[in-house]
Amino acid sequence: MSPLRMIYLGLAVVGTVLPMAHFLPWLAANGWSLVALKDTWFAHSGVEGLAWDLTIAAVALTVWIVAETRVRRNWLALWAIPATFCIGVSCGLPLYLFLRTRPVE
């Protein structure tokens, strides 16, 4: 595996662990309510701006993944879409780059 791919994979792991280290305790303390989590994202304008920023980035990443997957036929790369929406852009983007840069067979 190339050093670049190892960096992408490492960033995907870190991009999973760090957000989940905050989300999981919050969800456990608040009854695993996704509605309450969404309400927290829009609690004030600073957090709301960040939520919209990440939402737009996630949608743009998804469009890019779908468009490139159709051309490259790298169907494995589609795993980055659920990673993006279930974990976050911090996992989805480096995971996609890791999957996109695998050697062509």
Contact 84, 99 (CB under 8 A): no
Contact 92, 58 (CB under 8 A): yes
Q: Return left, alpha or beta for 56; rule: phi > 0 is left, psi -120 to 50 is alpha, else beta.
A: alpha
Site of tokens 């974990």: 87
Which candidate, 87, 88, 85, 66, places its Cα nearest to that of 77?
Answer: 66
Domain residue ranges of the chain, discontinuous segments joined by +: 3-100
Write down the pTM of the prediction.
0.89
pLDDT in tens, 51-77: 999 999 999 999 999 999 999 999 999
Four-residue CA torsion sign, 8, 9, 13, 19: positive
The answer to whether residue 96 scores a pLDDT higher than 70 is yes
